[in-house]
Amino acid sequence: MTTSPTAERRRLINLAYRMLGSFAEAEDVAQETYARWYALSPRQREAVASPGGWLTKVAGRICLDVLRSARARRERYVGAWIPEPLPAPTEWSAGAGDGDTGDPADRVTLDESVGMAFLVVLDAMTPAERVAFVLHDVFRYSFAEVADIVGRTPAACRQLAVSARRRVDASRPPSPSPSPSQRSRVVQEFKEAWEAKDIHALVGLLDADATAVGDGGGLVSALTHPIEGAEQVARFFAGRIAPDRLTLRTCTVNGQPGLAAHRDGAVLSVYAFDIADGRIRRIWAVLNPEKLRYWKSG
């Protein structure tokens, strides 16, 4: 293999996380891909002209299979399914991984393509759309290479990517994306208003059509349906926190400002925000403990 197994594995996890929205499943995909590589005989491996291309093809096909089976699994999932939130390096639990450095920056590159809003849009795509879009638009594979993975013609894969791109463009607000400092300010103000149970201040930070959705996975109590409207969302959050039991901390969620609720040294929930024009449009609350195992307690 021309590049190191560690570097290739990191690339596969980056690919698979964007395709699946689950870091745990992305690691499984990378592991299965390498298992298939080492199941080849030495002569078969030597005959592979591009080991990196071979690994990508296999990982892409595994992801496609996982996405197809995920549709049936989602029907059995209790409540809303939200992509698994990724912590920043300082919030990463070194003991939760598989023996690597314990730093997610070494595993998943945090950029716009792992933002929660982006991943939620990807999750609404068909499996073939998602794989084609991620491979071509995010990782810049040619449509000929994508076709070899998806099992369709290059022209069909181009159409899949075009359809996916329309979904992504339609989800974006017409206004320019806020700067990191603007996002941080809005999240900090939301945190302070939430802690103060100040409904008026919360409403002022929310878009009129704001929505909030939670993911408990049936393991903990969470919203079973989205809450819609600024006042309804504000009232829900104002009645949600007990300051003597929970501690809210600002953090980085999938590369953007977010919040984490701690109690007795454990992370109980993580909140990601979609912000436009200085207002919060969407809030995603992940409470499923299986999706929080990479978050550092403390």
pLDDT of residue 296: 78
d(CA 273, CA 286): 12
d(CA 158, CA 136): 9
Give the domains, in start order, of the chain with CATH numbers. 5-76+111-171 (1.20.140), 180-291 (3.10.450.50)
pLDDT tens digits, one per residue of 29-48: 999 999 999 999 999 999 99
Buried b vs exposed e over 260-293: b needs ≥16 C-beta within 10 Å?
bbbeeeebbbbbbbbbbeebbbbbbbbbbbebbe
pLDDT of residue 103: 46
Cα torsion angle, 206, 207, 209, 215, sign? negative
3-class state of residue 217 by DSSP: coil
Lowest-confidence region among 167-171, 184-188, 208-212: 167-171
d(CA 54, CA 37): 9
Instruction: Assign residue 255 a region (left: φ > 0; alpha: ψ between -120 and 50; beta: otherwise).
Output: left
For 179, other C-beta atoms within 10 Å of its C-beta total 9
For 228-241, what is the mean pLDDT?
A: 93
pLDDT above 80 for 23:
yes
Whole-model pTM: value is: 0.89
Residue 251 φ/ψ, nearest 5 degrees: -160, -175
**DSSP secondary structure, 73-110, as one string:** HHHHSSS---PPPPBPGGGB-GGGSSSS-S-GGGTS--
pLDDT of residue 228: 97
pLDDT of residue 100: 46
Q: What is the mean pLDDT of the chain?
A: 89
CA distances from residue 74 to 103, 123, 271, 293 in whole angstroms, order as listed: 29, 11, 21, 20
Beta-ladder partners of 280: 206, 275
Kindly give the pairing relationship between strand 279-286 and strand 206-215: parallel
pLDDT of residue 101: 45
- Please list the alpha-helical segments (H only) found in 88-225: 116-123, 127-133, 143-150, 154-171, 180-196, 199-205
**Which long-range contacts link 95-100 to residues 24+ away (Cβ below 8 Å)?**
96/293, 96/294, 97/294, 98/27, 100/6
pLDDT of residue 134: 95
